[in-house]
Structure 1
């Protein structure tokens, strides 16, 4: 039976994919305190391919090989195939039981190029099968995959999961590993489910600013506001030109620093003067690094650090260009190394009677939050998400990230683009009345971005 999800996306089959080897009896995984703190949010990733790598012929889809590769991959990811249950301490954990992941197939009645030009964020969510966790999650799959066939022969694959299980990096590496298994290649990043929390750890800092930020987040209740979203792709040449102007005075500024400063300062101009003399931006940074072992790059879970930077309205709004703000962002990013451990300590102390952790709260909000994905560029300068190829040379033409249950002032997500070098993609989520004005901002338009997937 065909289920209509929107006018252009129609789901027509649902199945489960299990690991090719049985899970050992009694196996399970506990979540870290940070994992459980992310429990209100979900993670959604969509990979767009111009040509379908699974076509056997003009009208058929090679699902057998696709499912076989996923089944083999799931042997490496037992945490993704299990089901959620409450442990003896009352906290969530994974019971491994070979239940598998849900997979759905859908048809999209347009081409990929037309979709990227015309679809809005709400319609894009139709490419990622999801249903919220029920009261009894014993038969509920926390990982879901949707295979979307476009009229042009293109393909989009949506992956969704709970943020408690995985952050954006973990979801991306799981997907990339699937493509490696499909091509018969060894895994570049084997999943690691536990790592020593004392590895590379400095002394505890009870006065870390991040703990103050988490305490403030946990105490705030936000009112849901209808949000709008837009994705802007900036070319390597445009970012280089802008950086050359900034580097005359601020030599250390990076493409990330520049784009954060640009969007933060332009968004600040959209707010009412009564918002106060201070403007704050929360930063979400991944602790995985290619160059050290503070957190292993293959760690599967949440390895995020949140921090906050505040600037006077005059400095943010009236500075000469974005150079000064970029420098503030750069210095802030360089100061974050030890904040992660203090945050883990803080989450661990929020326990109720019987060692049960306190309820989760919104980590993305209430203040404007910026997510840094620069770590997804490897030491050779390649963007890991655009290295996810089911066939040689078949790189995705676009990768889209979405985080569920975001409230407050919005999100700025800065990630690599398929163009190597300084090209970047910025996905912005703002209150609906602000997003349209931002897309008309002359300073941003001066960089000649390509605008994709804009709307509610």
Structure 2
């Protein structure tokens, strides 16, 4: 389906209250310094509430802009700009970008058969844009459909935080829109004191772009299929795999199988890197509303000829446990920078290694994006869009919080085989309707 998304306005939104001079410089932590210069995408879709008219559109747009300005007073670094990959500079002349768009179709046309590529039109900037390191740290696009439906596209630079930070921001923004008071929604700025920035250049492994054409597909695992899958992948070694472990193991197996077939090899090392939110893993635990990149990662490896799901989930669990028991401790014992530097060097080496398949997974499950109510109800659907970063897996909750939506980006050749994989299709539906 071809549809036109026309940007009708673009403006700067600033914090409603001027930031004091002593807060004009925000120090990045060295974890932030290692973060990629890329935007995290998030799309929230809201069907029309009641009868449609132009005044409702104007009212919603004004609510979004006004409350966004108020929220930025709490999240003041979001309105600044990164300088020298070490600080964020803020003054009252800088802000975030707010775009408004009109879409010449009904929202139902998008939701009946979502197209990962077309969804990019509802984001204010591309995920891979270089602006993430030097331009606005936050951009918002409100797209209004002919029916009065609304898509809110949010792009947050990874330099300011991770998915948990985005969740904290959305939670605060919607609470302010509903005029709710909640101390837990207020951001905590603790990272730069725990992990102060370093004064020499940090090399961040580049995202793998342009080496091969990629394809992004959305697979939905409902709760009953996940229950069945968990029972299949369980074993004496791991009796209670999580739903994320079960789903990721299946995707890992299918992607690796496709790669081996296309390369004509029966044995080829396959590695899975999974991101870990370390807020609750450090001692003492840090609050969920801590702003910044509180992320680590572990790598699990599969080299066997025959790929067994039960073996993969055990490897994923062991990787997480080893990371929690050993690597997290390093973050608190004085050699945190060395530990993170070594981890990034390892990833950089793996990205350059043509003899191994390297996959990267991020789970956004258990975040409260579906609770983002700005005064017209919760979103019908929360999603991302297609990516150009090969071998990437992003997992998100379904609306009922029990299922999982898996967004998988592979080379076009590998995806062509994965799409036909009967084992995957036995547990997941390829791009079903939102209705």
> Is TM more than 0.5 here?
yes
Query: Structure 1: any 5+ residue segments left out of the alignment?
Result: 1-5, 200-213, 351-357, 378-382
SS in 2 for 1:121: coil
Rounded to whole Å, the distance in 1 between the matches of 2:163 and 2:77 is: 16
Whole-angstrom CA distance in 2 between matches of 1:257 and 1:450 = 20
* Residue 59 of structure 1, CA deviation: 5.9
Aligned 8 A contact 2:29 2:191 in 1: no
Query: Could you say if the C-alpha distance between residues 53 and 83 of structure 1 is closer, same or farther in structure 2, counting changes exceeding 3 Å?
Result: farther
Pick which of 162-171 and 13-22 moved more. 162-171
Q: Equivalent of 2:81, from 80, 83, 88? A: 83
| Distance apart, 1:144 and its partner CA | 0.5
TM-score of the two chains, using structure 1 as the length reference: 0.78
Separation in structure 1 between the aligned mates of residue 425 and residue 231 of structure 2, nearest angstrom:
18
**Which residue number in structure 1 is paired with residue 199 of structure 2?**
none
- What SS class does the counterpart of residue 280 from structure 2 fall into? coil
Does the 8 Å contact 1:42/1:404 carry over to 2? no
Distance 1:107-1:405 versus aligned 2 partners, 3 A rule: same
Out of 301, 311, 321, which is 1:334 matched to?
A: 321
1:82-161 equivalence runs, <5 A:
82-86=80-84, 91-98=85-92, 99-130=94-125, 132-133=129-130, 137=134, 140-161=135-156
Secondary structure of the structure 1 residue equivalent to 2:323:
coil
**SS of residue paired to 1:69:** helix
CA distance in 2, matches of 1:54, 1:288: 44
Aligned 8 A contact 1:283 1:308 in 2: yes
Q: Tell me, in whole angstroms, the C-alpha distance in 1 between the residues paired with 2:280 and 2:118.
A: 34
- In 2, are the aligned partners of 1:166 and 1:302 still within 8 Å (CA)? yes
User: Cα distance 1:124–1:292, how it changes in 2: closer, same or farther (>3 A)?
Assistant: farther
Give the structure 2 partner of residue 416 of structure 1. 397
- Contact residue 226 and residue 432 of structure 1 kept, 8 A: yes
**1:400 alignment partner in structure 2:** 383
- Between 143-152 and 49-58, the greater mean CA deviation after superposition: 49-58
Structure 1 position 235 matched with structure 2 position 222: yes
Is this contact kept in 1: 2:11–2:99, CA < 8 A?
yes
1:299: how far off?
Answer: 1.3
> CA–CA distance in 1 between the matches of 2:321 and 2:274?
12
Corresponding position: 1:301 with 2:292: yes
For 1:365 and 1:398, locate their aligned partners in 2 and report how far apart those are by CA, in whole Å.
33
What's the TM-score once normalised by structure 2's chain length? 0.81
Cα offset, 1:9, TM superposition: 1.2
Asked whether the equivalents of residues 359 and 391 of structure 2 are also in contact (C-alpha less than 8 Å), the reply is yes
Q: Which residue of 1 aligns with 2:363?
A: 372
Checking the alignment, whether the CA contact within 8 Å between 2:216 and 2:386 is kept in structure 1 is no
Paired with 1:371 and 1:24, the residues of 2 have a C-alpha distance of 36
Deviates more, 1:238-247 or 1:68-77: 238-247
1:444 is aligned to 2:424: yes
Give the deviation of 1:431 after TM superposition: 1.0
Cα deviation for residue 64 of structure 1 reads 2.4
Deviation at 1:160, TM superposition (A): 0.8
CA contact (8 A) 1:17 1:100 kept: yes
Gaps of 5+ in 2: 196-201, 353-357
8 A Cα contact 2:258 2:414, kept in partner? yes
Task: Tell me, yes or no, if the aligned pair for 1:234 and 1:447 is still in contact at 8 Å.
Answer: yes
1:170 corresponds to: 165
